[in-house]
Amino acid sequence: MYIGKKLAATTALLGAVATAGVLTATPASAAITDMGIHLSTGHNVGLYNDYKKINNADKATPNDLIYSTNPNLTDGIETDCWSDRGASLNNMDPYWYHTKTEYYNHLVGTSPVHIYAWTYAPYVDGEAGIRAGLQKCNY
C-alpha cells in the first residue's frame, strides 16, 4: 500500500514539473535547436574533430561533403548549434556548425553517418543557418 501511494505522489509531482517546464520553456524568440542544411556554396566541406585544428590529420571522416549542381547529389548535414570560437579560413568569419549527422548523397547507397564533428559554416551555406536562428553552442 505504501509503495502505491509513493508512486502516485511521484507521478503527480513529475506531471506538475513537466507542465511548469512546458510553460516556461517556450520564449517568443526561441532559437532553432536542430537544422538540416544542404551544401549550397560550391565548396567541398571537411568534417573536423576540433574547429581550431584544420588539417587532414584532424578529420573526423575520410570523406568530404560534396556540393553538386545536381540537387539530388548534393550532400548535407544536420546540426544542433553554431560556434564563433573556431579558426577562420580565407579571411571569412570563424563560424562553425556542430554537426551530428552527415548525408553523403553523392555516394549512392550510403546511409547517413552519425558522427559529432565540426563543419565550416561559410563553406556549408554561407552562414545562412546562423542567420536563420540556429542556436549558439556557447563552446
Q: Which run of H or of E encompasses 5?
A: helix 2-24
Structure confidence at residue 3 (pLDDT): 47
Structure confidence at residue 31 (pLDDT): 81
- Name the residue among 120, 121, 32, 44 with its Cα closest to residue 75: 44
In a domain, 83, yes or no: yes
What's the domain range around 107? Answer: 35-131
When divided into structural domains, the chain yields a total of 1
Structure confidence at residue 32 (pLDDT): 86
In a domain, 75, yes or no: yes
Structure confidence at residue 87 (pLDDT): 95
Residues of the chain with pLDDT under 70: 1-30
Residue 77 in 3-state DSSP? strand
In a domain, 44, yes or no: yes
- Please give the Cα distance from 63 to 34 (Å, whole number): 23
- Please give the Cα distance from 112 to 69 (Å, whole number): 20
Length reported for the chain: 139
